[in-house]
């Protein structure tokens, strides 16, 4: 039997995943990285994208992340993500409505600070939509 990788995915809100898996593909800032048990130690920042979690005999888990860090040690892989959401929880139609409202909020902002906050929200929503 192949060796398993210890994988922990942590966001500010909660521990999203903790367990042993066959392989995890993360969206590193320099490109996609496939991590398996025995991988060389490495640290990387994450870009917005999808984490794919593979475990034999189970459906692949796909999780959107927006930024963060990944650390591979002899003990396994730990991902500290700024924001996470399982793709299965996203609804395209609802996301499209939120994007339309966020566009209005950017256009209606009266101050630079409000415009910047509205633009950040809009960018985040567009990243989620692209992940679908």
Total-model pTM: 0.76
The mean pLDDT value for 106-126 works out to 86
Task: Reply yes or no on whether the pLDDT at 7 is more than 90.
Answer: yes
What confidence score (pLDDT) does residue 1 get? 55
What is the residue range of 111's domain?
91-131
Q: Note whether 76 and 97 are same-domain residues.
A: no
Q: Note whether 73 and 98 are same-domain residues.
A: no
What confidence score (pLDDT) does residue 51 get? 94
Q: Note whether 103 and 68 are same-domain residues.
A: no
What confidence score (pLDDT) does residue 90 get? 76
Q: Note whether 62 and 44 are same-domain residues.
A: yes
Task: Reply yes or no on whether the pLDDT at 10 is more than 80.
Answer: yes
- Beta pairing partners, 15: 10
> What is the DSSP secondary structure assignment for residue 112, as one 8-state letter?
H
Q: Note whether 103 and 63 are same-domain residues.
A: no
Q: Residue 42 belongs to a domain with what CATH number?
A: 2.60.15.10
Q: Note whether 75 and 112 are same-domain residues.
A: no
Q: Note whether 68 and 98 are same-domain residues.
A: no
CA dist., res. 82 & res. 39, Å (int) = 24
Q: Note whether 78 and 105 are same-domain residues.
A: no
DSSP 72-103: EETTEEEEEES-EEEGGG--HHHHHHHHHHHH
In sequence order, what are the residues at sequence separation of 6 or more whose Cβ sits closer than 8 angstroms to the Cβ of residue 67? 45, 46, 47, 48, 81, 82, 83
Domain count, the chain: 2
Q: Note whether 57 and 104 are same-domain residues.
A: no
CA dist., res. 13 & res. 11, Å (int) = 5
Q: Which residue has the tokens 């994450």?
A: 46
What confidence score (pLDDT) does residue 37 get? 94
Q: Note whether 9 and 48 are same-domain residues.
A: yes
């Amino acid at each position: 039997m192949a060796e398993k990788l210890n994988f922990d995915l942590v966001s500010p809100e909660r521990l999203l995943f903790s367990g042993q898996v066959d392989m995890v593909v993360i969206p590193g800032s320099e490109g996609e990285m496939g991590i398996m048990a025995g991988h060389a130690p490495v640290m990387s920042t994450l870009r917005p994208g999808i984490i794919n979690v593979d475990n034999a005999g189970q459906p692949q888990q796909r999780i959107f992340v927006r930024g963060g860090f990944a650390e591979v040690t002899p003990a396994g892989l730990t991902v500290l993500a700024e924001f996470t959401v399982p793709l299965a929880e996203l609804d395209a139609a609802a996301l499209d409505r939120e994007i339309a409202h966020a566009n209005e909020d950017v256009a209606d902002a009266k101050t630079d600070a409000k415009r910047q906050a509205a633009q950040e929200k809009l960018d985040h929503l567009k990243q989620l939509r692209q992940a679908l």
